[in-house]
Structure 1
Amino acid sequence: MPPKFGTSGLRGLVDELTPDCVAAYVQAFLTSCPTGAGLCIGHDLRPSSPAIAAVVAAVARDRGSRVFDCGAVPTPALALRAQTRACAAVMVTGSHIPADRNGLKFYTPAGEITDAEQAAILSALAPAAAPAPSAPAEGDGSCAQDYLDRYARAFGPQALSGLRIGIHEHSTVARDLMAQAVRALGGQALPFDRSDTFVALDTEALAPELRHRLAAEVRAQGLNAILSADGDADRPLVVDDRGRVVPGDILGPLSARYLGAEILCTPVTSNSAVDAMGFTRVRRTAIGSPKVIEAMVAEGAGRRAVAGYEANGGFLLGFDAKGPAGPLPALMTRDSMLPALVPLVAAAERGITLSDFVDTVPPRFTAADRLTEFPPARARALIARLLEEPAALQLMLDGLGAEVARDLTDGLRLTLAGGDVVHLRPSGNAPELRCYGESALPERAAALVAGMLARVEHFRE
């Protein structure tokens, strides 16, 4: 997979993310985007990440930037630190993709780079030679602690009192912080499954065996919930007291409602149950946090109670909210800690279980999966064929339902007779074809996805 620059920054095979390649993109970023008072650098726990971070630091120092080394921290923690310091930031991470791949996420002092800034970086991209390793950057050991304090101040030391919370550690960079956050809010943290090798955990496409493993852990330890996240911790994984994985597009509106958001911005793939939850407006976007942020800004983020979230669970807070114990300032980047903690805090305040709190959402269920090694060009060609050939589309939907409406905001989203939804789209950051299903029953949503992907395999042959 040649290095690709898109909605999640730069992604590519580790072997192809050479020092010169990394230097070229970092140099283009520093040349074309505002960087403020310097550059904060963080990384995930992949074996390749520290060396890539060292190249980023050397390039920035070579260009005269002040560089702050935040170490192994969650992406939202790094974004918060950059916001506090009025600096730019580069996070070395491949997020949820396998360890043989990695990448860079770029932030200006204002937050995640926009589509316009992505274009500016590509325009400024030119061959570059990585400079020789430089002196160590300034250490910033308080980055993770400040991120933790954000939630401790907002929710208080008794918010999770009496709750037993499992922490599925694997190799998420937030594994220690999640346990610390639970303890800071008065809960008992019970870590398990720590891994010394990198685990590619995609919160939108969990393997069935992992779902069963987590449900069994809930039962075996009598847990009130399990918390986890993907590799760089901008996407949460939450399992309730019944052993059910709570989808990210349920965590999002529950968190937004508790915090007093009035307007929500979310991709077209997100669960439509949000439309019946009492928000002033729900604005749908194409996939990708830059699209969500663009919509949030258009809706008055910073002046109005606007929030955003994605189906993967990443939550963006576009206004200064208030927790039960203190302020919770805006942070317009995908965060896993907030949507993991808020539903637990809200349920505890009501004196009910997390599962009962989740069940206050109108019953609408989603499922998602993907086909790997499915290049975006092939996925786009498939969607074009389905749009151009009614017989092909009819074959694809055979046995699933008749089309009654379509949405081309991002890929092909079809509403079927009876209200079911199926959605195909090329991944924006990996050679994958994503499939989403939505229905009134969870089993039906999963069957829709499985059926669509089986039919896609027929077309791929």
Structure 2
Amino acid sequence: MEAVRFGTSGLRGLVSDLLGWASLGHTLAFLASGVAARGAGADRLLLIGEDLRASSPALAQDCARAARLAGWTPVACGPVATPALALQAMQRRSPAIMVTGSHIPDDRNGLKFYTAEGEIDKADEMAIMTAFAGLPGPISNDDDVPAAAETGVMARFAARYRDWLGPDALTGLRVGVYQHSSVARDLLVDLLADLGAQVEPLGRSASFVPVDTEAHRREDLTRLAEWAATGRFDAIVSTDGDADRPLVCDETGRPVRGDVLGLLVADVLGLRTLVTPVTSSSSVEAAGPGRTVLRTRVGSPFVIEAMQAAQAQGHEAVGGFEANGGFLLASDIERDGRILAALPTRDSVLPILCALLEIGRRGGRLSDIVQTIGAGNAAADRLQGVPAERSGPFLARLESDVGYRSRHFAPVGAVAGWDAIDGVRVHLADGSVVHYRASGNAPELRCYVEAGSSEAAETLLKWGLTRAADALEYQT
């Protein structure tokens, strides 16, 4: 049970640890803590969605059993995108649980919790953990629980964007959709076609593919480049497993960085206040003169909390994004007399649409559009299989031991400054940045870098990973 814990967004753990009491008990705790009831109607419905992992149906059944035990009615929404379930919860005034491990491998999974008001925050996570600790021990319940079916969740989510943009918004664009095992693989094909694009499905998979939009698998990069080399596409798009993170590739098959997508969305929507974690490039502040940029720790709950605080202080046109590309919209946006309502949870579809809209508006190549944004040169990857008990001491020593920190970075330059807002982020004398942090979702040590050119960033990233692996005596 110690391996099951809240990460940057939601409860995560090995499937073997989550099945049974862990998922059932945390659902009971969500319902008993009072968190689930906030803003909810009197019908006591719990919406339950799932991604396409092999373990997700069984975990969804655990959540349904817990709902029945707690006197709630489980409502099975089936395979749906996480932002679609969040939207449905807000519209139905019902809490929701999304069974998903997002981008992490198939032997892991998780639960994301939503109230009728939106995604839960860190205080809510603490309330759930406290309620879980107070439960009277493991409860065994293997009964099949029939749940009412909620249909149309994905259709209503697609309608949100179709109604906002109209049928001809993407006319003339040629778009490949890398489907793999994304829960939004069919939604993307249908929505983009409805908006006028010529769409070609690519790479559909019968088994789960752990697409991480911050740390791309080599085999994915190869496939994307091969598809792009045919010259058939203005862009190739995709999402992670639960469709709250986008993957957008330019006409060469090169993925567009998530923070660049965030800035692109801000330009298209005319947002004036942006909230983003410290892992986004430090050039974000310089990319949009006149904007307010607020920095947070990594994780959508922190971004949401900062967006809410900004609005409480009178900021308007507020949005947030993470380095993984997921965009959170805090303000209603008008376009040609149509309103796109706020959806303050991580979403992949909005960044995809905004990137395609810009290609159509400018009539050029996405690679050229990216260059005009001026978001600097950054890269990121990770060492997998590094549990917290190994990464923790390494990060703690980098933070506390000045001599060790200087020696660690000496091969690439003198340390000019650093912070420990989330992990250890070091600024070097030449302006480069190396940032190490432990993933909150999986046993990984992440490395983010910035440098003067894309080539220098890739070189620095390789050095950063190799240097950390040596320090950890990591076996590749």
Question: TM-score w.r.t. structure 2 length?
Answer: 0.93
Letter of the aligned partner of 1:257 in structure 2? D
Partner residue of 1:202 out of 180, 204, 212? 212
Question: Matches of residues 139-158 of structure 1 in structure 2 within 5 Å?
Answer: 139-158=149-168
Task: Tell me, in whole angstroms, the C-alpha distance in 2 between the residues paired with 1:6 and 1:55.
Answer: 20
Listed as ranges, the matches of 1:73-152 within 5 Å are 73-125=80-132, 126=135, 127-152=137-162
The corresponding residue for 1:213 is 223
Change (3 A) 1:130 1:234: farther
Give the 3-state SS of the residue equivalent to 2:311 in structure 1.
coil
1:328-350 CA-partner distances (Å, limit 9, x unpaired) = 10000000000111121123122
After superposition, give the CA deviation of every residue in 1:204-225 in whole Å (9 maximum; x if it has no partner).
Answer: 1102332132022012152000
Q: Is residue 273–residue 361 contact of structure 1 (8 Å, CA) maintained in 2?
A: no
Structure 2 vs 1, CA of residues 190 and 385 (structure 1 numbering), >3 Å: closer, same or farther?
same
For 2:392, the equivalent position in structure 1 comes to 380
136-145 or 204-213, larger mean C-alpha shift: 204-213
Find out whether 1:238 has 2:251 as its counterpart.
no
Match of 2:184 in 1: 174
Q: Would you identify which runs of 4 or more consecutive aligned residues in structure 1 move more than 6 Å?
A: none
Contact 1:41–1:89 (8 Å) recurs in 2: yes
Q: 1:336 aligns with which of 348, 352, 369?
A: 348
1:5-33, Cα deviation, whole Å (9 max, x unpaired)? 23322111111112122111000001111
1:284 to 274, 295, 302: 295
Q: Could you say what secondary structure the match of 2:446 adopts?
A: strand
**1:84, distance to aligned residue in structure 2 (A):** 0.6
Q: How many Å separate the matches in 1 of 2:154 and 2:380?
A: 31
Which residue of structure 2 lines up, in the alignment, with residue 34 of structure 1? 36
| Contact 2:36–2:114, Cα closer than 8 Å, also in 1 | no
Report if the CA contact (8 A) 1:7-1:429 is conserved: yes
Deviates more, 1:57-66 or 1:298-307: 298-307
Counterpart CA distance in 1 for 2:77 and 2:231 is 35
Query: Is the 2:5–2:13 contact (alpha carbons within 8 Å) kept by the matching residues of 1?
Result: yes
The superposition leaves residues 213-266 of structure 1 with CA deviations (integer Å, 9 ceiling, x where unpaired) of 202201215200001011111110010113221011100111022112110000
| Shift, 1:273, TM fit | 2.7
Distance in 2 between residues matched to 1:337 and 1:113, nearest whole Å: 21
SS of the residue 1:450 aligns to: helix
Q: Which amino acid aligns with 2:350?
A: L
Aligned counterpart, 1:409:
421
After TM superposition, give the deviation of residue 134 of structure 1 in Å: 5.0
Secondary structure (helix, strand or coil) at the match of 1:244 reads coil
- The one-letter code of the counterpart of 1:453 is L
**Preserved CA contact (<8 Å) 1:363 1:440:** no
Pick aligned residue for 1:58 from 52, 57, 65:
65
Alignment length (residue pairs): 461
Instruction: Find out whether 1:264 has 2:274 as its counterpart.
Output: yes
**AA partner of residue 390 (structure 1):** V
User: How far 1:184 sits from its partner (Å)?
Assistant: 1.4
Give secondary structure in 2 for the equivalent of 1:226. Answer: strand
* CA distance in structure 2 between the aligned counterparts of 1:4 and 1:421, rounded to whole angstroms: 30
Q: Is the 8 A contact 2:240 2:247 kept in 1?
A: yes
- Distance in 2 (CA, whole Å) between partners of 1:151 and 1:365 is 31
Match of 2:22 in 1: 21
Equivalent AA in structure 1 for residue 63 of structure 2: V
SS in 2 for 1:264: strand
Query: What is the CA-CA distance between 1:405 and the residue it aligns to?
Result: 1.2
Shift of 1:373: 1.6
Separation in structure 1 between the aligned mates of residue 365 and residue 335 of structure 2, nearest angstrom: 20
Identity of aligned residues (%): 47
| Cross-structure match for 2:369 | 357
* Equivalent of residue 324 in structure 2, options 279, 287, 312: 312
Q: CA–CA distance in 2 between the matches of 1:129 and 1:221?
A: 57
Once residues 325 and 145 of structure 1 are traced to their aligned partners in structure 2, the CA distance between those partners, rounded to angstroms, is 22
* CA distance in structure 1 between the partners assigned to 2:423 and 2:105 by the alignment: 24
Amino acid at match of 2:311: G
Residue number in structure 1 paired with 2:433? 421
Deviations 1:244-296 (A, max 9, x none): 21011100111022112110000011022321212421000011111111110
Distance, in Å, in 1 between the alignment partners of 2:208 and 2:362 is 38
- Aligned partners of 1:363 and 1:311: how far apart in 2? 12
The one-letter code sitting in structure 1 at the alignment partner of 2:424 is: L
Q: Distance in 2 between matches of 1:28 and 1:363?
A: 42
Contact kept in structure 2, 1:229 and 1:236, CA below 8 Å: yes
TM-score of the pair, normalised by structure 1: 0.96
CA contact (8 A) 1:46 1:198 kept: yes
Contact 1:62-1:131 at 8 Å conserved across structures:
no
Aligned to 1:453: 465
**Residue 298 in 1 paired to residue 312 in 2?**
no
Indicate if the aligned counterparts of 1:205 and 1:368 stay in contact, CA closer than 8 A: yes
Equivalent residue of 2:430, what SS?
A: coil
In the alignment, which residue of structure 2 is the partner of 1:369? 381
- Residues 265, 283 of structure 1: 8 Å contact kept: yes
Compute the displacement of 1:448 (Å): 1.4
- CA distance 1:184–1:325, shift in 2 (3 Å): farther
User: Are 1:376 and 1:426, in contact at CA under 8 Å, matched by a contact in 2?
Assistant: yes
Q: Deviations over 1:387-436 (max 9, x none)?
A: 33333223321331211111211111011122111100111121111110
RMSD of aligned C-alpha atoms?
1.6
Runs (5+) with no aligned partner, structure 2? none
The aligned counterpart of 1:395 is 407
